């Protein structure tokens, strides 16, 4: 269904994996595409494939965390297709290591590409949409789909940089949804599981026949959120893979403690909290493991 006819979409990290699958699906739904990745044949191949299938697409390569790249992406969308309606942030890298052996560069690279990369594109897209709303006097059509990960829910031990970046992306998504609602922006985040070059070592080889963890299984939700059907959805976080779309709820308050005299003493704190934290050895309590069983029939581990 051409639900996005006439719309203009940017997809970052579109040269392969999830980004390429999302770009193809958005183009198939009628969107005119501006695709970003680092310069190379992979990005050009996706552009040519979309064109061969009858869609419209141009490449705007560059480091997504660079200010100039974010500016160029929006400018390319406006100059080439007359506007911008959808932003899908997908670009990312991995530098997995335990926190006690992680280098400064490994930390900075992942935070830069994922979190700063999401911010840079969001900054220029929302500025464009804010300006458009002020010019027309009414909110316009604007969608952001950000890419988070269950790593931030689980506190992935070997991915402190990645988990931190993905948690930051969720917070950025919520702040964008709240801060830009009056300009027509709908911002949501997905936590996808998909078999790509970035996750290949974790997930292993694809099975014979249809792959339940193929990136193409994630793309329909992205199209839904980017389309007219996403009008009433904002500030939400989804887990998506295979035949699963799970809507996450906000964190809950587990317990509340009050000082008897209005000010805590060491003895009172010990008495109040010792009953809540009695496990030995302790187990991290702010970990969401409820998403893990969602794909037991197709895949036994979370990314």
For 33, the token pair is 């595409």
By DSSP bridging, strand 57-59 and strand 32-36 are: parallel
* Catalytic site positions: 149, 162, 166
- Rounded Cα gap, residues 78 and 123, in angstroms: 16
Please give the biggest Cα pair distance in the chain: 73
| CA proximity to 171, closest of 235, 226, 239 | 235
- Rounded Cα gap, residues 133 and 127, in angstroms: 10
| CA proximity to 24, closest of 41, 243, 16, 199 | 16
- Rounded Cα gap, residues 131 and 128, in angstroms: 5
């Amino acid at each position: 269904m051409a639900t996005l006819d006439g719309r203009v979409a940017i997809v970052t990290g579109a040269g392969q994996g999830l980004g390429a699958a999302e770009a193809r699906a958005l183009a198939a739904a009628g969107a005119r595409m501006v695709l970003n990745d680092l310069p190379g044949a992979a990005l050009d191949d996706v552009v040519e494939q979309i064109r061969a299938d009858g869609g419209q697409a141009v490449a705007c390569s560059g480091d997504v965390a660079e200010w100039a790249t974010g500016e160029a992406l929006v400018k390319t969308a406006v100059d080439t297709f007359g506007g911008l309606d959808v932003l899908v942030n997908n670009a990312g890298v991995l530098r997995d290591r335990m926190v006690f052996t992680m280098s400064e560069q490994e930390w900075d690279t992942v935070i830069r590409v994922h979190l700063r990369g999401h911010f840079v594109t969001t900054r220029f897209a929302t500025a464009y949409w804010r300006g458009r709303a002020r010019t027309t006097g009414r909110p316009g059509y604007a969608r952001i789909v950000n890419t988070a990960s269950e790593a931030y829910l689980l506190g992935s031990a070997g991915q402190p940089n990645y988990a931190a970046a993905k948690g930051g992306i969720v917070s950025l998504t919520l702040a964008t949804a709240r801060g830009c609602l009056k300009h027509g922006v709908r911002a949501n985040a997905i936590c996808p599981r998909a078999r790509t070059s970035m996750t290949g070592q974790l997930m292993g080889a694809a099975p014979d026949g249809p792959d339940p963890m193929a990136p193409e299984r994630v793309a329909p939700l992205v199209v839904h959120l980017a389309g007219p059907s996403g009008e009433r959805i904002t500030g939400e976080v989804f887990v998506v893979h295979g035949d699963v779309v799970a809507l996450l709820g906000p964190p809950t308050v587990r317990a509340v403690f009050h000082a008897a005299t209005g000010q805590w003493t060491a003895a009172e704190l010990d008495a109040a909290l010792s009953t809540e934290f009695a496990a030995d050895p302790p187990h991290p309590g702010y970990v969401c493991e409820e998403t893990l069983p969602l794909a037991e029939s197709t895949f036994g581990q979370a990314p």
